[in-house]
Structure 1
Protein backbone atom coordinates (compact mmCIF):
# COMPACT_ATOMS: atom_id res chain seq x y z
CA UNK A 1 0.00 0.00 0.00
CA UNK A 2 1.66 3.20 -1.11
CA UNK A 3 2.17 5.83 1.58
CA UNK A 4 0.71 8.49 -0.71
CA UNK A 5 -2.58 6.59 -0.77
CA UNK A 6 -2.40 6.15 2.98
CA UNK A 7 -1.69 9.85 3.56
CA UNK A 8 -4.54 11.07 1.38
CA UNK A 9 -7.01 8.61 2.87
CA UNK A 10 -5.83 9.30 6.42
CA UNK A 11 -6.21 13.04 5.93
CA UNK A 12 -9.81 12.71 4.76
CA UNK A 13 -10.74 10.22 7.47
CA UNK A 14 -9.09 12.18 10.27
CA UNK A 15 -10.71 15.40 9.12
CA UNK A 16 -14.08 13.68 9.31
CA UNK A 17 -13.37 12.57 12.88
CA UNK A 18 -13.63 16.16 14.08
CA UNK A 19 -16.58 17.28 11.96
CA UNK A 20 -19.54 15.53 13.52
CA UNK A 21 -22.30 16.94 15.72
CA UNK A 22 -22.77 15.84 19.33
CA UNK A 23 -25.49 13.21 19.78
CA UNK A 24 -24.34 11.17 22.77
CA UNK A 25 -25.79 12.39 26.09
CA UNK A 26 -23.14 14.00 28.25
CA UNK A 27 -23.46 16.20 31.28
CA UNK A 28 -22.01 19.67 30.82
CA UNK A 29 -20.01 20.31 33.95
CA UNK A 30 -16.91 22.00 35.27
CA UNK A 31 -13.73 20.23 34.27
CA UNK A 32 -12.58 20.07 37.91
CA UNK A 33 -15.75 18.32 39.10
CA UNK A 34 -15.85 15.10 41.11
CA UNK A 35 -14.14 12.17 39.34
CA UNK A 36 -16.48 9.64 37.71
CA UNK A 37 -17.56 6.56 39.63
CA UNK A 38 -16.36 3.08 38.71
CA UNK A 39 -19.78 2.39 37.17
CA UNK A 40 -19.53 5.52 35.03
CA UNK A 41 -16.03 4.57 33.87
CA UNK A 42 -17.32 1.14 32.84
CA UNK A 43 -20.26 2.77 31.03
CA UNK A 44 -17.76 5.04 29.30
CA UNK A 45 -15.78 1.96 28.22
CA UNK A 46 -18.96 0.25 27.02
CA UNK A 47 -19.78 3.33 24.94
CA UNK A 48 -16.44 2.98 23.15
CA UNK A 49 -16.69 -0.79 22.72
CA UNK A 50 -20.21 -0.50 21.28
CA UNK A 51 -18.83 2.01 18.78
CA UNK A 52 -15.88 -0.18 17.79
CA UNK A 53 -17.95 -3.36 17.57
CA UNK A 54 -20.55 -1.70 15.37
CA UNK A 55 -17.83 -0.19 13.19
CA UNK A 56 -16.27 -3.56 12.39
CA UNK A 57 -19.59 -5.33 11.92
CA UNK A 58 -20.82 -2.67 9.49
CA UNK A 59 -17.53 -2.50 7.60
CA UNK A 60 -17.20 -6.25 7.17
CA UNK A 61 -20.80 -6.48 6.02
CA UNK A 62 -20.18 -3.68 3.52
CA UNK A 63 -16.86 -4.95 2.13
CA UNK A 64 -16.55 -8.62 1.20
CA UNK A 65 -13.40 -10.56 0.30
CA UNK A 66 -13.53 -9.36 -3.32
CA UNK A 67 -13.64 -5.72 -2.19
CA UNK A 68 -10.53 -6.21 -0.06
CA UNK A 69 -8.75 -7.92 -2.95
CA UNK A 70 -9.65 -5.12 -5.36
CA UNK A 71 -8.27 -2.62 -2.83
CA UNK A 72 -4.92 -4.39 -3.01
CA UNK A 73 -5.01 -6.29 0.29
CA UNK A 74 -3.92 -9.95 0.66
CA UNK A 75 -6.78 -12.37 1.33
CA UNK A 76 -5.78 -12.88 4.99
CA UNK A 77 -6.28 -9.21 5.91
CA UNK A 78 -10.06 -9.43 6.01
CA UNK A 79 -9.85 -12.60 8.11
CA UNK A 80 -7.85 -10.76 10.75
CA UNK A 81 -10.42 -7.96 10.76
CA UNK A 82 -13.07 -10.61 11.41
CA UNK A 83 -11.06 -11.72 14.44
CA UNK A 84 -10.80 -8.13 15.67
CA UNK A 85 -14.58 -7.82 15.33
CA UNK A 86 -14.92 -10.92 17.49
CA UNK A 87 -12.62 -9.38 20.10
CA UNK A 88 -14.66 -6.17 20.22
CA UNK A 89 -17.90 -8.14 20.56
CA UNK A 90 -16.36 -10.03 23.49
CA UNK A 91 -15.32 -6.75 25.10
CA UNK A 92 -18.93 -5.54 24.82
CA UNK A 93 -20.27 -8.71 26.44
CA UNK A 94 -17.68 -8.57 29.22
CA UNK A 95 -18.54 -4.97 30.09
CA UNK A 96 -22.29 -5.65 29.89
CA UNK A 97 -21.88 -8.52 32.34
CA UNK A 98 -19.82 -6.33 34.67
CA UNK A 99 -22.43 -3.55 34.58
CA UNK A 100 -25.50 -5.76 34.87
CA UNK A 101 -28.61 -3.58 35.00
CA UNK A 102 -26.44 -0.50 34.39
CA UNK A 103 -25.55 -1.62 30.87
CA UNK A 104 -27.23 -0.19 27.77
CA UNK A 105 -27.54 -0.90 24.02
CA UNK A 106 -25.46 0.61 21.24
CA UNK A 107 -26.19 4.01 19.72
CA UNK A 108 -26.56 4.75 16.01
CA UNK A 109 -23.38 5.74 14.20
CA UNK A 110 -22.09 7.24 10.98
CA UNK A 111 -18.57 6.34 9.89
CA UNK A 112 -16.69 8.12 7.04
CA UNK A 113 -15.85 4.86 5.27
CA UNK A 114 -16.13 4.40 1.51
CA UNK A 115 -13.78 1.48 0.75
CA UNK A 116 -11.53 -1.07 2.50
CA UNK A 117 -8.64 1.41 2.66
CA UNK A 118 -10.64 4.04 4.54
CA UNK A 119 -12.11 1.22 6.67
CA UNK A 120 -8.61 0.08 7.66
CA UNK A 121 -7.45 3.66 8.25
CA UNK A 122 -10.34 4.46 10.56
CA UNK A 123 -10.01 1.10 12.31
CA UNK A 124 -6.37 1.92 13.04
CA UNK A 125 -7.40 5.29 14.45
CA UNK A 126 -10.22 3.92 16.62
CA UNK A 127 -7.93 1.28 18.11
CA UNK A 128 -5.32 3.92 18.91
CA UNK A 129 -7.92 6.08 20.64
CA UNK A 130 -9.19 3.01 22.48
CA UNK A 131 -5.75 2.27 23.91
CA UNK A 132 -5.35 5.92 24.93
CA UNK A 133 -8.80 5.91 26.53
CA UNK A 134 -8.18 2.87 28.72
CA UNK A 135 -4.79 4.20 29.79
CA UNK A 136 -6.23 7.61 30.66
CA UNK A 137 -9.07 6.11 32.73
CA UNK A 138 -6.96 3.64 34.70
CA UNK A 139 -6.50 6.03 37.61
CA UNK A 140 -10.26 6.05 38.23
CA UNK A 141 -10.25 2.29 38.79
CA UNK A 142 -7.48 1.85 41.37
CA UNK A 143 -10.06 1.38 44.13
CA UNK A 144 -11.43 -1.70 42.32
CA UNK A 145 -8.49 -4.00 41.48
CA UNK A 146 -10.68 -6.62 39.81
CA UNK A 147 -12.24 -4.03 37.50
CA UNK A 148 -8.83 -2.49 36.83
CA UNK A 149 -7.55 -5.91 35.77
CA UNK A 150 -10.40 -6.30 33.27
CA UNK A 151 -9.73 -2.87 31.78
CA UNK A 152 -6.00 -3.58 31.84
CA UNK A 153 -6.53 -6.76 29.84
CA UNK A 154 -8.49 -4.88 27.17
CA UNK A 155 -5.97 -2.02 26.82
CA UNK A 156 -3.13 -4.07 25.29
CA UNK A 157 -5.54 -5.71 22.86
CA UNK A 158 -6.55 -2.27 21.58
CA UNK A 159 -2.86 -1.44 21.16
CA UNK A 160 -2.18 -4.77 19.41
CA UNK A 161 -5.05 -4.16 17.01
CA UNK A 162 -3.73 -0.67 16.29
CA UNK A 163 -0.17 -1.91 15.75
CA UNK A 164 -1.25 -4.76 13.48
CA UNK A 165 -3.39 -2.54 11.26
CA UNK A 166 -0.70 0.12 11.08
CA UNK A 167 2.19 -2.24 10.28
CA UNK A 168 0.74 -5.28 8.52
CA UNK A 169 -2.15 -3.64 6.68
CA UNK A 170 -1.09 -0.04 6.06
CA UNK A 171 2.67 -0.77 5.92
CA UNK A 172 3.45 1.94 8.44
CA UNK A 173 5.09 1.90 11.89
CA UNK A 174 3.36 -0.26 14.54
CA UNK A 175 3.99 2.31 17.27
CA UNK A 176 4.45 6.05 17.75
CA UNK A 177 6.94 6.28 20.62
CA UNK A 178 8.32 4.43 23.64
CA UNK A 179 5.08 5.11 25.54
CA UNK A 180 1.36 4.97 24.85
CA UNK A 181 -0.43 8.33 24.89
CA UNK A 182 -3.07 8.74 27.59
CA UNK A 183 -6.32 10.61 26.93
CA UNK A 184 -8.82 11.48 29.63
CA UNK A 185 -12.57 10.76 29.26
CA UNK A 186 -13.41 14.31 28.16
CA UNK A 187 -10.87 14.16 25.35
CA UNK A 188 -12.05 10.72 24.25
CA UNK A 189 -15.71 11.72 24.34
CA UNK A 190 -14.89 14.70 22.15
CA UNK A 191 -13.51 12.31 19.53
CA UNK A 192 -16.08 9.51 19.89
CA UNK A 193 -19.09 11.82 19.76
CA UNK A 194 -18.32 12.74 16.15
CA UNK A 195 -19.47 9.27 15.03
CA UNK A 196 -22.65 9.11 17.13
CA UNK A 197 -25.84 10.26 15.42
CA UNK A 198 -28.43 9.23 18.03
CA UNK A 199 -28.77 7.09 21.14
CA UNK A 200 -31.63 5.17 22.80
CA UNK A 201 -33.49 7.01 25.54
CA UNK A 202 -32.09 4.50 28.04
CA UNK A 203 -28.51 5.58 27.39
CA UNK A 204 -27.13 7.01 30.66
CA UNK A 205 -25.97 10.60 30.86
CA UNK A 206 -22.27 10.43 31.56
CA UNK A 207 -20.45 13.16 33.50
CA UNK A 208 -18.10 14.28 30.77
CA UNK A 209 -17.54 17.45 28.75
CA UNK A 210 -17.02 17.64 25.00
CA UNK A 211 -14.71 20.35 23.70
CA UNK A 212 -15.12 22.35 20.46
CA UNK A 213 -13.90 20.43 17.42
CA UNK A 214 -10.47 21.07 15.95
CA UNK A 215 -9.31 20.30 12.41
CA UNK A 216 -6.12 20.88 10.44
CA UNK A 217 -6.55 22.04 6.86
CA UNK A 218 -5.00 20.01 4.05
CA UNK A 219 -2.46 17.32 4.91
CA UNK A 220 -0.53 18.34 8.04
CA UNK A 221 3.19 17.61 7.74
CA UNK A 222 5.94 17.81 10.40
CA UNK A 223 8.14 20.86 9.91
CA UNK A 224 5.55 22.71 7.85
CA UNK A 225 2.95 25.36 8.60
CA UNK A 226 -0.66 24.24 8.92
CA UNK A 227 -3.86 26.24 9.39
CA UNK A 228 -6.33 25.22 12.09
CA UNK A 229 -10.12 25.45 12.14
CA UNK A 230 -11.95 25.71 15.47
CA UNK A 231 -14.61 27.79 17.19
CA UNK A 232 -14.09 29.34 20.60
CA UNK A 233 -17.39 29.29 22.48
CA UNK A 234 -18.41 30.99 25.68
CA UNK A 235 -18.17 27.64 27.46
CA UNK A 236 -14.64 26.86 26.27
CA UNK A 237 -11.48 27.94 28.07
CA UNK A 238 -10.75 30.92 25.84
CA UNK A 239 -7.61 32.85 26.65
CA UNK A 240 -8.01 36.06 28.60
CA UNK A 241 -5.04 37.69 26.87
CA UNK A 242 -5.67 36.28 23.41
CA UNK A 243 -2.57 34.09 23.48
CA UNK A 244 -3.11 30.48 22.50
CA UNK A 245 -0.82 27.53 21.89
CA UNK A 246 -1.13 24.17 20.20
CA UNK A 247 -0.08 21.23 22.34
CA UNK A 248 1.03 18.11 20.46
CA UNK A 249 0.63 15.01 22.60
CA UNK A 250 2.52 11.78 21.94
CA UNK A 251 3.61 9.27 24.55
CA UNK A 252 4.43 11.14 27.74
CA UNK A 253 5.47 14.31 25.91
CA UNK A 254 3.57 17.55 25.39
CA UNK A 255 5.15 19.88 22.84
CA UNK A 256 3.80 23.45 22.74
CA UNK A 257 3.92 25.74 19.72
CA UNK A 258 2.46 29.29 19.67
CA UNK A 259 -0.67 29.70 17.55
CA UNK A 260 -0.45 32.69 15.23
CA UNK A 261 -3.14 35.35 14.89
CA UNK A 262 -4.36 33.73 11.65
CA UNK A 263 -4.67 30.33 13.38
CA UNK A 264 -1.60 28.81 11.77
CA UNK A 265 1.06 26.76 13.52
CA UNK A 266 4.39 25.20 12.57
CA UNK A 267 4.14 21.48 13.29
CA UNK A 268 7.25 20.25 15.14
CA UNK A 269 9.55 18.41 12.75
CA UNK A 270 10.30 15.61 15.21
CA UNK A 271 6.71 14.33 15.56
CA UNK A 272 6.07 10.74 14.51
CA UNK A 273 3.16 8.32 14.39
CA UNK A 274 -0.25 9.00 15.91
CA UNK A 275 -0.30 12.42 17.55
CA UNK A 276 -3.10 14.27 19.34
CA UNK A 277 -3.29 18.07 19.10
CA UNK A 278 -5.24 20.48 21.30
CA UNK A 279 -5.51 24.25 21.32
CA UNK A 280 -4.78 25.51 24.83
CA UNK A 281 -4.55 28.77 26.74
CA UNK A 282 -1.34 27.50 28.34
CA UNK A 283 2.13 26.95 26.95
CA UNK A 284 3.23 24.58 29.71
CA UNK A 285 0.42 22.13 30.51
CA UNK A 286 -2.39 20.71 28.38
CA UNK A 287 -5.26 19.73 30.67
CA UNK A 288 -9.04 19.88 30.50
CA UNK A 289 -8.87 23.17 32.38
CA UNK A 290 -6.64 24.74 29.70
CA UNK A 291 -8.19 23.17 26.59
CA UNK A 292 -9.86 25.53 24.12
CA UNK A 293 -10.51 23.03 21.31
CA UNK A 294 -9.66 19.50 20.33
CA UNK A 295 -8.18 17.02 20.39
CA UNK A 296 -7.54 16.45 16.72
CA UNK A 297 -5.81 13.29 15.51
CA UNK A 298 -2.74 13.52 13.27
CA UNK A 299 -0.92 10.64 11.60
CA UNK A 300 2.75 11.08 10.68
CA UNK A 301 4.19 7.89 9.10
CA UNK A 302 7.92 7.24 9.57
CA UNK A 303 10.20 4.54 8.21
CA UNK A 304 12.30 1.91 9.95
CA UNK A 305 15.51 3.90 9.53
CA UNK A 306 14.27 6.77 11.70
CA UNK A 307 15.16 7.12 15.37
CA UNK A 308 12.10 6.67 17.56
CA UNK A 309 12.08 7.43 21.28
Structure 2
Protein backbone atom coordinates (compact mmCIF):
# COMPACT_ATOMS: atom_id res chain seq x y z
CA UNK A 1 0.00 0.00 0.00
CA UNK A 2 1.50 3.33 -1.02
CA UNK A 3 1.67 6.11 1.50
CA UNK A 4 -1.03 8.73 1.13
CA UNK A 5 0.15 12.30 1.63
CA UNK A 6 -1.90 14.35 4.07
CA UNK A 7 -0.93 17.97 4.50
CA UNK A 8 -1.18 18.47 8.25
CA UNK A 9 -2.05 22.12 8.86
CA UNK A 10 -1.10 24.35 11.72
CA UNK A 11 -3.37 24.66 14.74
CA UNK A 12 -4.93 27.78 13.27
CA UNK A 13 -6.38 25.75 10.39
CA UNK A 14 -7.91 23.26 12.80
CA UNK A 15 -10.34 25.81 14.14
CA UNK A 16 -13.27 24.68 16.22
CA UNK A 17 -16.18 23.81 13.89
CA UNK A 18 -19.67 24.87 14.92
CA UNK A 19 -21.68 22.75 12.50
CA UNK A 20 -21.42 19.63 10.37
CA UNK A 21 -20.64 21.80 7.34
CA UNK A 22 -17.86 23.60 9.22
CA UNK A 23 -16.52 20.28 10.47
CA UNK A 24 -16.33 18.85 6.96
CA UNK A 25 -14.55 21.97 5.75
CA UNK A 26 -12.05 21.43 8.56
CA UNK A 27 -11.43 17.86 7.38
CA UNK A 28 -10.83 19.11 3.85
CA UNK A 29 -8.47 21.84 5.06
CA UNK A 30 -6.54 19.19 6.95
CA UNK A 31 -6.16 17.23 3.73
CA UNK A 32 -8.24 14.36 5.07
CA UNK A 33 -11.30 14.74 2.86
CA UNK A 34 -11.76 12.06 0.20
CA UNK A 35 -14.44 11.07 -2.28
CA UNK A 36 -16.83 8.95 -0.27
CA UNK A 37 -19.37 7.72 -2.79
CA UNK A 38 -19.21 4.02 -3.52
CA UNK A 39 -16.36 3.36 -1.10
CA UNK A 40 -16.61 0.33 1.14
CA UNK A 41 -14.29 -1.21 3.69
CA UNK A 42 -13.72 -4.96 3.42
CA UNK A 43 -14.79 -7.19 6.27
CA UNK A 44 -15.17 -10.93 6.91
CA UNK A 45 -17.79 -13.00 5.06
CA UNK A 46 -17.78 -10.60 2.12
CA UNK A 47 -20.04 -8.05 3.79
CA UNK A 48 -19.23 -4.38 3.42
CA UNK A 49 -18.70 -2.03 6.32
CA UNK A 50 -20.30 0.82 4.40
CA UNK A 51 -23.59 -1.10 4.27
CA UNK A 52 -25.06 -0.36 7.69
CA UNK A 53 -28.04 -2.65 8.24
CA UNK A 54 -28.12 -3.38 11.96
CA UNK A 55 -26.43 -2.82 15.31
CA UNK A 56 -23.68 -5.33 14.52
CA UNK A 57 -22.76 -3.35 11.40
CA UNK A 58 -22.69 -0.15 13.44
CA UNK A 59 -20.50 -1.79 16.08
CA UNK A 60 -18.09 -3.09 13.42
CA UNK A 61 -17.91 0.37 11.88
CA UNK A 62 -17.05 1.78 15.31
CA UNK A 63 -14.49 -0.98 15.83
CA UNK A 64 -12.65 0.03 12.66
CA UNK A 65 -12.45 3.62 13.93
CA UNK A 66 -11.13 2.44 17.28
CA UNK A 67 -8.52 0.30 15.51
CA UNK A 68 -7.48 3.37 13.52
CA UNK A 69 -7.07 5.62 16.54
CA UNK A 70 -5.39 2.95 18.66
CA UNK A 71 -2.86 2.22 15.91
CA UNK A 72 -2.06 5.89 15.36
CA UNK A 73 -1.49 6.56 19.05
CA UNK A 74 0.56 3.38 19.43
CA UNK A 75 2.82 4.48 16.60
CA UNK A 76 2.95 8.02 18.00
CA UNK A 77 4.11 6.84 21.43
CA UNK A 78 6.63 4.46 19.87
CA UNK A 79 8.00 7.20 17.57
CA UNK A 80 9.76 8.88 20.50
CA UNK A 81 8.73 12.41 19.50
CA UNK A 82 6.47 13.06 22.50
CA UNK A 83 7.46 14.40 25.89
CA UNK A 84 5.96 15.86 29.05
CA UNK A 85 2.20 16.34 29.15
CA UNK A 86 1.81 15.38 25.50
CA UNK A 87 3.38 11.97 26.10
CA UNK A 88 1.07 11.38 29.05
CA UNK A 89 -2.04 12.44 27.16
CA UNK A 90 -1.30 10.45 24.01
CA UNK A 91 -0.40 7.36 26.04
CA UNK A 92 -3.75 7.71 27.78
CA UNK A 93 -5.53 8.10 24.43
CA UNK A 94 -3.83 4.94 23.17
CA UNK A 95 -4.94 2.97 26.21
CA UNK A 96 -8.51 4.27 25.94
CA UNK A 97 -8.82 3.38 22.26
CA UNK A 98 -7.42 -0.11 22.86
CA UNK A 99 -9.92 -0.59 25.69
CA UNK A 100 -12.75 0.67 23.46
CA UNK A 101 -11.79 -1.79 20.72
CA UNK A 102 -11.69 -4.70 23.16
CA UNK A 103 -15.08 -3.74 24.61
CA UNK A 104 -16.67 -3.47 21.16
CA UNK A 105 -15.27 -6.87 20.16
CA UNK A 106 -16.83 -8.37 23.29
CA UNK A 107 -20.14 -6.65 22.53
CA UNK A 108 -20.23 -7.91 18.94
CA UNK A 109 -19.50 -11.45 20.05
CA UNK A 110 -22.18 -11.26 22.77
CA UNK A 111 -24.70 -10.46 20.04
CA UNK A 112 -23.51 -13.36 17.89
CA UNK A 113 -21.66 -11.24 15.37
CA UNK A 114 -18.18 -11.48 13.87
CA UNK A 115 -15.81 -8.61 14.67
CA UNK A 116 -14.23 -6.94 11.67
CA UNK A 117 -10.55 -7.68 11.18
CA UNK A 118 -8.06 -4.92 11.88
CA UNK A 119 -7.11 -3.23 8.59
CA UNK A 120 -3.64 -2.06 7.58
CA UNK A 121 -3.37 1.67 8.21
CA UNK A 122 -1.03 4.14 6.51
CA UNK A 123 -0.31 7.44 8.25
CA UNK A 124 1.45 10.45 6.71
CA UNK A 125 5.11 10.52 7.78
CA UNK A 126 4.85 14.13 8.95
CA UNK A 127 2.14 13.23 11.46
CA UNK A 128 4.60 11.00 13.32
CA UNK A 129 7.75 13.10 12.84
CA UNK A 130 7.09 15.64 15.58
CA UNK A 131 4.94 16.25 18.64
CA UNK A 132 3.06 18.99 16.79
CA UNK A 133 2.30 16.65 13.90
CA UNK A 134 0.93 14.00 16.25
CA UNK A 135 -1.32 16.46 18.04
CA UNK A 136 -2.60 18.09 14.87
CA UNK A 137 -3.69 14.80 13.33
CA UNK A 138 -5.14 13.70 16.67
CA UNK A 139 -7.18 16.91 16.71
CA UNK A 140 -8.86 15.72 13.50
CA UNK A 141 -9.22 12.04 14.36
CA UNK A 142 -10.89 12.63 17.72
CA UNK A 143 -13.78 14.83 16.49
CA UNK A 144 -14.29 12.32 13.68
CA UNK A 145 -14.70 9.51 16.20
CA UNK A 146 -16.95 11.59 18.42
CA UNK A 147 -19.09 12.65 15.46
CA UNK A 148 -19.39 9.06 14.26
CA UNK A 149 -20.79 7.88 17.59
CA UNK A 150 -23.19 10.82 17.83
CA UNK A 151 -24.38 10.23 14.27
CA UNK A 152 -24.88 6.52 14.91
CA UNK A 153 -27.09 7.07 17.95
CA UNK A 154 -30.44 7.40 16.12
CA UNK A 155 -29.68 4.25 14.09
CA UNK A 156 -29.00 1.97 17.06
CA UNK A 157 -31.86 -0.30 18.13
CA UNK A 158 -30.58 -2.19 21.16
CA UNK A 159 -30.30 -0.19 24.41
CA UNK A 160 -27.10 -2.00 25.40
CA UNK A 161 -25.38 -0.99 22.18
CA UNK A 162 -26.75 2.55 22.49
CA UNK A 163 -25.43 2.84 26.04
CA UNK A 164 -21.99 1.67 24.93
CA UNK A 165 -21.94 4.16 22.06
CA UNK A 166 -23.01 7.00 24.33
CA UNK A 167 -20.34 6.15 26.88
CA UNK A 168 -17.58 6.02 24.27
CA UNK A 169 -18.80 9.24 22.62
CA UNK A 170 -18.40 11.00 25.96
CA UNK A 171 -14.82 9.80 26.29
CA UNK A 172 -14.05 10.83 22.71
CA UNK A 173 -15.30 14.30 23.61
CA UNK A 174 -12.86 14.38 26.52
CA UNK A 175 -10.12 13.39 24.09
CA UNK A 176 -11.01 16.33 21.85
CA UNK A 177 -10.60 18.73 24.76
CA UNK A 178 -7.34 17.12 25.92
CA UNK A 179 -5.73 17.42 22.50
CA UNK A 180 -6.93 20.96 21.90
CA UNK A 181 -5.61 21.99 25.30
CA UNK A 182 -2.16 20.78 24.25
CA UNK A 183 -2.46 22.73 21.00
CA UNK A 184 -3.20 25.89 22.96
CA UNK A 185 -6.87 26.45 22.17
CA UNK A 186 -8.46 28.79 24.75
CA UNK A 187 -11.12 27.66 25.50
CA UNK A 188 -10.45 24.16 24.14
CA UNK A 189 -13.99 23.86 22.79
CA UNK A 190 -16.95 26.16 22.23
CA UNK A 191 -19.51 23.78 20.72
CA UNK A 192 -22.73 23.28 22.65
CA UNK A 193 -23.57 20.44 20.24
CA UNK A 194 -20.66 18.61 18.55
CA UNK A 195 -21.24 17.67 14.92
CA UNK A 196 -23.03 14.38 14.20
CA UNK A 197 -21.51 12.68 11.15
CA UNK A 198 -23.06 10.23 8.71
CA UNK A 199 -21.39 6.99 7.61
CA UNK A 200 -20.31 8.54 4.30
CA UNK A 201 -18.89 11.58 6.07
CA UNK A 202 -16.83 9.40 8.39
CA UNK A 203 -15.65 7.29 5.46
CA UNK A 204 -14.55 10.48 3.73
CA UNK A 205 -12.33 11.23 6.71
CA UNK A 206 -10.76 7.81 7.28
CA UNK A 207 -10.56 6.32 3.78
CA UNK A 208 -7.12 7.81 3.00
CA UNK A 209 -5.61 5.87 5.90
CA UNK A 210 -6.74 2.64 4.21
CA UNK A 211 -5.44 3.59 0.77
CA UNK A 212 -8.92 4.55 -0.45
CA UNK A 213 -9.55 7.81 -2.24
CA UNK A 214 -7.43 10.84 -3.02
CA UNK A 215 -6.48 13.77 -0.86
CA UNK A 216 -8.51 16.88 -1.55
CA UNK A 217 -7.01 20.33 -1.89
CA UNK A 218 -10.17 22.44 -1.90
CA UNK A 219 -13.64 23.04 -0.57
CA UNK A 220 -15.04 19.97 1.13
CA UNK A 221 -15.67 16.27 0.58
CA UNK A 222 -16.95 15.41 -2.88
CA UNK A 223 -20.13 13.36 -2.69
CA UNK A 224 -20.57 10.60 -5.19
CA UNK A 225 -16.92 10.47 -6.25
CA UNK A 226 -14.83 7.43 -6.98
CA UNK A 227 -11.56 6.24 -5.59
CA UNK A 228 -8.43 5.16 -7.37
CA UNK A 229 -6.29 2.19 -6.39
CA UNK A 230 -2.87 3.07 -4.99
- Alignment TM class, shorter chain as reference: 0.7 to 0.9
| 2:183 alignment partner in structure 1 | 170
Count of aligned pairs: 195
| 1:96 alignment partner in structure 2 | 105
Residues 1:152 and 1:9: Cα distance change in structure 2 (over 3 Å)? closer
Gaps of at least 5 residues in structure 2 are: 1-8, 16-25, 226-230
Deviates more, 1:94-103 or 1:45-54: 94-103
Decide which of 138, 144, 158 is 2:153's aligned counterpart.
138
CA distance in 2, matches of 1:23, 1:123: 24
CA contact (8 A) 2:27 2:205 kept: no
Q: Deviations over 1:262-287 (max 9, x none)?
A: xxxxxxxxxxxxxxx456xxxxxxxx
Q: Which has more helix, going by share of residues?
A: 2
CA contact (8 A) 2:40 2:48 kept: no
Residues 1:28 and 1:144: Cα distance change in structure 2 (over 3 Å)? closer
CA RMSD of aligned residues (A): 3.4
Residues 1:116 and 1:146: Cα distance change in structure 2 (over 3 Å)? same
Q: Which has more strand, going by share of residues?
A: 1
The offset of 1:186, in angstroms, is 1.5
CA contact (8 A) 1:46 1:92 kept: yes
Q: Deviations over 1:78-137 (max 9, x none)?
A: 112111110000000001111125113311111121321111111111010111000000
| 2:4 alignment partner in structure 1 | none
Q: Deviations over 1:49-96 (max 9, x none)?
A: 01010010011111x2xx335xxxxx1221121111100000000011
Decide which of 8, 11, 14 is 1:6's aligned counterpart.
11
The offset of 1:5, in angstroms, is 4.8
| 1:46 alignment partner in structure 2 | 63
CA contact (8 A) 1:20 1:195 kept: no
Q: Is residue 2:130 matched to residue 1:115?
A: yes
CA contact (8 A) 1:124 1:162 kept: yes
Q: What's the secondary structure of 1:107's corresponding residue?
A: coil
Greater relative contact order, per chain length (Cα 8 Å cut-off, separation 6+): 2
| 2:217 alignment partner in structure 1 | 215
CA distance in 2, matches of 1:6, 1:124: 9
TM-score (norm 2): 0.72
CA distance in 1, matches of 2:52, 2:33: 26
Decide which of 77, 86, 94 is 1:85's aligned counterpart.
94
CA contact (8 A) 1:131 1:158 kept: yes
CA contact (8 A) 1:23 1:197 kept: no
CA distance in 2, matches of 1:82, 1:108: 21
Q: What's the secondary structure of 1:16's corresponding residue?
A: coil
CA contact (8 A) 1:23 1:196 kept: no
Decide which of 103, 126, 130 is 2:141's aligned counterpart.
126
* Residues 254-269 of structure 1: pairs in structure 2 closer than 5 A: none
* Residues 269-280 of structure 1: pairs in structure 2 closer than 5 A: 277-278=220-221
The offset of 1:174, in angstroms, is 1.9
Gaps of at least 5 residues in structure 1 are: 70-74, 199-209, 217-227, 229-276, 280-290, 294-309
TM-score (norm 1): 0.55
| 1:156 alignment partner in structure 2 | 170
The offset of 1:215, in angstroms, is 3.3
CA distance in 1, matches of 2:49, 2:82: 42
